[in-house]
Amino acid sequence: MNTRITNHILQQTGDQSLVDGLKKHETDLPSFFINGASVKTTDLITTLQARIAAGSNVVSTRASWLTAVQANRDEIAETKTPRLRSQAGHHGGVRRTDRQAG
């Protein structure tokens, strides 16, 4: 598995575990101090959930992109110029007519 994908999965899993823990103890921990500022637990949960959603969107978008790239490569491979020329020559295409006319 790609290191970038593995790191992404670990980040998503860690964020979800943190959300689960914060929800479980939300009443006992109404706020945190982060970088010298007080942050409500509910705000932190909302931020983490938005980050998880954005990360999930990356995964699905990347999968769609990879599928589109492969489809493009397949199409190019199936329609290479030499193959088209050989099919045209096989059916008595234009090249043969040009030679006879010249």
pTM: 0.59
What is the C-alpha to C-alpha distance for residues 30 and 62, in angstroms, rounded to an integer? 37
E strands, the chain, are: 31-34, 37-40
What is the C-alpha to C-alpha distance for residues 13 and 95, in angstroms, rounded to an integer? 61
What is the structure's pLDDT at 55? 86
Token pair listed for 8: 């992404």
> Which carries the bigger pLDDT value, residue 7 or residue 99?
7
48 touches 67 (CB < 8 A): no
Residue position matching structure tokens 């954005």: 54
Report, as an integer, the average pLDDT of 4-8. 75
What is the structure's pLDDT at 22? 95
